[in-house]
Amino acid sequence: MALGLFSKKDINQGVQEWKATRGAILLDVRSREEYRERHIEGSVNLPLNELEQVSKTIPDKSTPIFVHCLSGGRSANAEHFLKKAGYQTVKNIGGISSYQGKTI
């Protein structure tokens, strides 16, 4: 249904899924400056404008990827790009702005 396209992503649930998924990567596609200010421990920063270099960071296309940004817009673009690039398990979990857990 089209309604699923507009459902609010829950980053808190997404981070729990990431932690429970063996070998998964939590990919933060915000800018390097945003990442330095605040990020989820264990996440990997690869800004959206550098995403074409993802194969250097994540060479195995079967690696589960949980992608987020500030509000969910950039991560939606990243999810689309990664799937088109052949990554098999990619999930947009939304934006860190609504994250309730600890950040560093």
Residue 60 has pLDDT above 90, yes or no: yes
Mean pLDDT score, 46-71? 97
Residue 2 has pLDDT above 50, yes or no: no
Q: Rounded to two decimals, what is the model's pTM?
A: 0.92
Q: Tell me the per-residue pLDDT of 15-53, one tens digit each, with 9 for 90 and over.
A: 999 999 999 999 999 999 999 999 999 999 999 999 999
Catalytic residue positions, numbered: 69
Residue 1 has pLDDT above 80, yes or no: no
Residue 67 has pLDDT above 90, yes or no: yes
Residue 68: other Cβ atoms inside 10 A: 32
Q: Are 68 and 92 in contact (CB under 8 A)?
A: yes
Delineate the domains of the chain, giving CATH numbers in brackets. 8-98 (3.40.250.10)
For residue 9, the model assigns a pLDDT of 87
Residue 16: other Cβ atoms inside 10 A: 13
For residue 3, the model assigns a pLDDT of 43
